[in-house]
């Protein structure tokens, strides 16, 4: 197949790609997520030296009913592989933000808990994070739009307890 034929065939798909609501929705979600992660992550790191990934883990720990999560729960809630989660928790533990605690009833289970330094770091980061979110997210939407978006994203997420910060 020639390059011209391939290009013509690709161009013929353009109306379908541009008009398909499913593709538009997924594209917009992906673009907004990527942009917010870049902008908010960079601003958070500049403001308090905390990566967005570490911030997400600390937020999840605060929201956890017992103030701790298993390594598997951290991976599930932050949408990371188990290996990626292990490396992230290793870095956070080395920085003194979290500690691992063995489960007394099941040797296969390890909990992650926030340390005092983790709590102090999160308190400082939270103020900066909320300002950044106001500038780049919430100020762009009316209260009604924010409510509708929260409802829709919670429905898509399937588990309100696992919602991110």
CATH number (domain holding residue 94): 1.10.10.10
CB atoms within 10 A of CB 58: 23
Helix boundaries (H) for the chain: 3-19, 21-48, 52-63, 71-78, 82-94, 116-136, 143-157
For position 59, what pLDDT does the model report? 95
Bridge-based pairing state of the strands 98-102 and 68-70: unpaired
For position 162, what pLDDT does the model report? 47
| Domain presence at residue 164 | no
| Domain presence at residue 121 | yes
Domains: count for the chain: 1
DSSP state of 105: S
| Domain presence at residue 106 | yes
**pLDDT tens-digit map of 50-62:** 999 999 999 999 9
| Domain presence at residue 165 | no
For the chain, give the mean pLDDT: 86
| Domain presence at residue 144 | yes
For position 117, what pLDDT does the model report? 96
CA-to-CA distance for 53 and 59, rounded, in angstroms? 10
For position 82, what pLDDT does the model report? 80
For position 105, what pLDDT does the model report? 87
CA-to-CA dists, residue 149 to 58, 60, 144, angstroms: 24, 21, 9
Domain boundaries, position 8 = 3-157
pTM of the model: 0.77
| Domain presence at residue 88 | yes
Contact 69, 60 (CB under 8 A): yes
For position 161, what pLDDT does the model report? 47
| Domain presence at residue 163 | no
Contact 57, 88 (CB under 8 A): yes
Residues of the chain with pLDDT under 50: 161-163
Chain-centroid distance of CA 22 in Å reads 22
Residue 111: in which H helix or E strand, if any?
A: strand 110-114
């Amino acid at each position: 197949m020639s390059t011209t034929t391939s290009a013509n065939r690709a161009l013929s798909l353009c109306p379908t790609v541009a008009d398909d609501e499913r593709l538009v929705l997924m594209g917009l979600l992906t673009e907004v997520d990527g942009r917010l992660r870049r902008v908010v992550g960079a601003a958070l790191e500049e403001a308090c030296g905390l990566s967005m990934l570490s911030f997400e883990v600390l937020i999840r720990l605060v929201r956890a009913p017992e103030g701790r999560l298993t390594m598997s729960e951290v991976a599930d809630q932050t949408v990371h592989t188990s290996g990626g989660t292990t490396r992230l928790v290793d870095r956070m533990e080395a920085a003194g933000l979290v500690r691992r605690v063995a489960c007394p009833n099941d040797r296969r289970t390890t909990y992650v808990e926030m340390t005092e330094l983790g709590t102090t770091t999160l308190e400082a980061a939270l103020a900066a994070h909320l300002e950044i979110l106001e500038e780049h997210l919430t100020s762009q939407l009316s209260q009604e739009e924010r409510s509708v978006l929260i409802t829709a994203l919670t429905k898509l997420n399937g588990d309100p307890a696992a919602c991110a910060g």
